[in-house]
């Protein structure tokens, strides 16, 4: 039995550690023409990719065993089966990938988080990430230093898929894997974390842990360029202080710092369970600029209970301060509290202001494409969640 991973630009971060955990049993697919009868093809995809994946499935012969994983399949396993997958693996895969392959070979019982027709499974959670390599040898990616998030933002899949307990790699383990990358001639080192300034802690800002990590990285790898607080990592606004960013500025190569505002309305932030206030957003913007970074601040349009005027007022204020607005349109992601909430159309005043800010170079994002996708996801959630 041959097992292939269908690699894309969007899923390589999730696939690389799984390929490593499979101990050489998963190959990267170069072309559909490679597939023979009895082969297994693994997919991992987000909800934003479901249409592309659905179209691709139509091109794959029925005699190929197709298995879905990733955020969309975990959030809506029944929809993934409906799309045409033979099996769905829900949750974190490192601990169970060899069991899955053993089951397909007829040698092991199925993992508990494996779904197929008329056989619902569970969701596998709680992998100790330090037990596993953050990337495979032939697919180096940013190092995941934290998994899980204690915050319950109503639109976000992260705590529903990865749990609320933050699981960190130790500084020593991170240094070990950074050295692997540096020895391969990779000088630009990036990190994956949903809550960067809480590294090493339980969810609140952990300045001592963060500063210690980058002091050690800077001391041991003086020729490397470290990117932290820019994609694929981000900060929370209430954790940002000038003192912390001033210290990190000594070690970081990135010019931008990303953090989420999402709305300019205190009531909307409360309903979203964001856990911060408008004042934190403004203070974080000021601190980021003062420390020598440019803030990129996330906002979500089309929320079912948004106050557009207050959001527009805050966006304009931050843009005048020197921030760049990263605009998103509300996507009702599977397994979130807002999955069955219908997105709201953008009002005319907000739409005109968005275009103006875009023309001035103070706003960017894929919100138009997300607007087209949003209602499709809403309908899928209504049918399958």
Q: Average the pLDDT over 189-204 and give the result.
A: 96
Shared domain for 91 and 172, answered yes or no, is: no
Per the structure, the complete domain to which residue 337 belongs is given by 131-384
Domain annotation covers residue 125: no
Phi-psi region of 158 (alpha: psi -120 to 50; beta: other; left: phi over 0): alpha
pLDDT digits (tens, 9 = 90+) for 272-284: 999 999 999 999 9
Shared domain for 111 and 182, answered yes or no, is: no
Total tally of structural domains belonging to the chain: 2
Domain annotation covers residue 120: no
Shared domain for 99 and 137, answered yes or no, is: no
Distance CA 324, CA 295 (A): 6
Domain annotation covers residue 94: yes
Domain annotation covers residue 173: yes
Kindly tell me if the per-residue pLDDT of 339 is higher than 90: yes
Q: Is the dihedral of CA 178, 181, 187, 190 positive or negative?
A: negative
Last residue of a domain, one of 55, 85, 115: 115
Shared domain for 100 and 190, answered yes or no, is: no
This prediction's pTM: 0.95
Distance CA 263, CA 315 (A): 9
Q: What is the number of other CB atoms lying within 10 angstroms of the CB of residue 175?
A: 17
Residue 108: CATH number of its domain = 3.40.50.280
The pLDDT assigned to 239 comes to: 98
Last residue of a domain, one of 84, 115, 146: 115
Last residue of a domain, one of 55, 82, 115: 115
Question: Can the peptide bond before residue 157 be classed as cis, meaning omega within 30 degrees of 0?
Answer: no
The pLDDT assigned to 140 comes to: 95
Kindly tell me if the per-residue pLDDT of 125 is higher than 90: no
Shared domain for 186 and 286, answered yes or no, is: yes
Shared domain for 278 and 160, answered yes or no, is: yes
Kindly tell me if the per-residue pLDDT of 385 is higher than 90: no
Domain annotation covers residue 26: yes
Domain annotation covers residue 318: yes
Q: What is the number of other CB atoms lying within 10 angstroms of the CB of residue 48?
A: 17
Q: Which two tokens stand for residue 123?
A: 């969701």
Shared domain for 347 and 373, answered yes or no, is: yes
Domain annotation covers residue 49: yes
Q: Average the pLDDT over 258-269 and give the result.
A: 98
Shared domain for 189 and 328, answered yes or no, is: yes
pLDDT digits (tens, 9 = 90+) for 220-255: 999 999 999 999 999 999 999 999 999 999 999 999
Kindly tell me if the per-residue pLDDT of 96 is higher than 90: yes
Shared domain for 155 and 108, answered yes or no, is: no
pLDDT digits (tens, 9 = 90+) for 148-159: 999 999 999 999
Shared domain for 337 and 370, answered yes or no, is: yes
Q: Which residues, including other chains, have CB under 8 Å from residue 70's CB and lie 6 or more apart?
A: 11, 14, 43, 44, 45, 46
| Summary mean pLDDT of the chain | 96
Q: Is the dihedral of CA 309, 311, 317, 319 positive or negative?
A: negative
Distance CA 266, CA 294 (A): 24
Residue 375: CATH number of its domain = 3.20.20.70
Band of residue 126 on the pLDDT scale cut at 50, 70, 90: confident
Domain annotation covers residue 123: no
Shared domain for 225 and 93, answered yes or no, is: no
Distance CA 111, CA 127 (A): 14
Shared domain for 226 and 367, answered yes or no, is: yes
């Amino acid at each position: 039995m041959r097992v292939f991973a269908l690699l894309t630009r969007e899923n390589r971060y999730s696939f690389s550690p799984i390929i490593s955990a499979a101990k050489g049993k998963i190959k990267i697919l170069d072309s559909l023409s490679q597939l023979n009868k009895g082969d297994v093809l693994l997919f991992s995809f987000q909800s934003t990719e479901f249409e592309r994946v659905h179209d691709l499935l139509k091109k794959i012969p029925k005699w190929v065993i197709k298995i879905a994983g990733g955020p969309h399949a975990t959030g809506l396993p029944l929809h993934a089966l409906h799309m045409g997958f033979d099996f769905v693996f829900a949750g974190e895969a490192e601990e169970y990938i060899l069991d899955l392959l053993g089951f397909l070979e007829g040698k092991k019982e199925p993992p508990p988080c494996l779904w197929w027709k008329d056989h619902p499974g569970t969701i596998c959670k709680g992998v100790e990430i330090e037990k596993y390599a953050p990337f495979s040898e032939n697919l180096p990616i940013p190092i995941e230093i934290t998994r899980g998030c204690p915050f319950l933002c109503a639109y976000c899949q992260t705590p529903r898929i990865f749990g609320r307990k933050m699981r960190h790699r130790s500084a020593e383990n991170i240094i070990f894997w950074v050295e692997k990358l540096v020895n391969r001639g990779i000088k630009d080192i990036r990190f994956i974390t949903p809550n960067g300034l809480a590294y090493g802690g339980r969810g609140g800002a952990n300045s001592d842990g963060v500063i210690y990590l980058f002091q050690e990285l800077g001391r041991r790898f003086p020729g490397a360029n470290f990117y932290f607080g820019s994609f694929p990592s981000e900060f929370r606004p209430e954790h940002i202080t000038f003192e912390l960013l001033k210290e990190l500025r000594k070690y970081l190569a990135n010019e931008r710092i990303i953090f989420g505002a999402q709305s300019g309305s205190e009531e909307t932030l409360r309903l979203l369970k964001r856990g911060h206030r408008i004042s934190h957003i403004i203070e974080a913007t000021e601190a980021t600029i003062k420390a020598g970074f440019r803030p990129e601040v996330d906002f979500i349009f089309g929320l079912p209970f948004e106050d557009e005027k207050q959001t527009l007022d805050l966006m304009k204020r931050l843009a005048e301060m020197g921030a760049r607005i990263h605009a998103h349109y509300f996507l009702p992601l599977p397994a979130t509290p807002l999955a069955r909430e219908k997105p709201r159309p953008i009002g005319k005043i907000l739409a005109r202001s968005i275009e103006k800010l875009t023309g001035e170079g103070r706003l960017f994002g894929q919100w138009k494409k997300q607007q087209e996708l949003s209602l499709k996801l809403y309908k899928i959630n209504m049918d399958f969640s």
